[in-house]
Amino acid sequence: MDGNGRWAKERGKERVYGHFEGVESVRAVMEASVEWGIPYVSFFAFSEENWGRPEAEVNTLMELMGRAMYNELHNFMEQDIRFVVLGNRARLSDALNADIDKTMAATAANKRMTMILFLSYSGRWDILQAAEKMAHDLIEHPGHAVGPEDLERHLVTADIPEPDLLVRTSGEKRISNYLLWQTAYTEFVFTDTLWPDFRKEAYRKALEEYASRDRRFGKIK
């Protein structure tokens, strides 16, 4: 989700206004995903690097996250959505962690769709923390021939499938330390649309582009 700040600036407003409007786009994409039968939808909300932003913006984003979660709970229950937060939870405040735990526990048995919010996440952090755990496994099982599954079981995404499609908004064409391991064969769609303008129509277009791709996974068809 990129371009909130620019969206606000274009309108002569504070960056935070773009973040508020961005929450509406999350809701729109979530609702369209339910309607179209998409089983997993993920949002990269805040990276490990984003902690380096001015304190006021970080605080606003964290407050916004907690409030949005609280406001959406009835929606998650009504629409049978399982809500999951993945990332370096140790860096989040106790209050936010408590809200996250509550929302995750309340929605844990929901079946229709899983919505994942990546918070304080980075791909390198994920691989590192998984590698550390895998190293412990290897001490206990010396001589074990290591395969990808030995690392994957420790990634924070262990129980969710690899993404088929990754959309980056706002004209930037990079992965910015998002799911590095998990996007090995993901299709990428880049759009100039700023995140607050990324609603149902923009989402439909991205899915249409995805549908036109020929996925071979390194093989020959």
Q: Would you tell me which residues interact with ligand IPE (CB under 6 A)?
A: 1-6, 46, 50, 61, 170, 195
Is-contact 171 190, C-beta < 8 A? yes
Q: Exposed, middle or buried, 31 (CB in 10 Å: 0-12/13-18/19+)?
A: middle
Our answer to whether residue 50 is catalytic in this structure is yes
Active site (annotated) includes residue 214: no
* Residues 165, 187 contacting (CB under 8 angstroms): yes
In whole angstroms, the minimum distance from the beta carbon of 44 to ligand IPE comes to 8
Measured from the CB atom, the residue of 1 and 96 that comes closer to ligand IPE is: 1
Select 7 or 83, whichever has its Cβ closest to Mg ion: 7
DSSP codes of every residue in 106-126: HHTT--SEEEEEEEEE-HHHH
194 sits near Mg ion (criterion: CB under 5 A): no
Pick the closest to residue 195 from 41, 24, 63, 48 (CA basis).
24
Q: What are the C-alpha distances in Å from 25 to residues 18, 28, 62, 195, 198? A: 11, 5, 17, 7, 6
Using the rule CB under 5 A, give the single segment among 1-9, 24-32, 97-105, 175-183 that binds Mg ion.
1-9
Minimum CB separation of residue 19 from ligand IPE in Å reads 6
Which range in 2-10, 80-88, 90-98, 101-109 contacts Mg ion by CB under 5 A?
2-10
Q: Which of 2, 21, 99, 126 binds Mg ion (CB under 5 A)?
A: 2
Which residue is nearest to ligand IPE, using beta carbons?
Answer: 5
Which are the catalytic amino acids?
2, 50
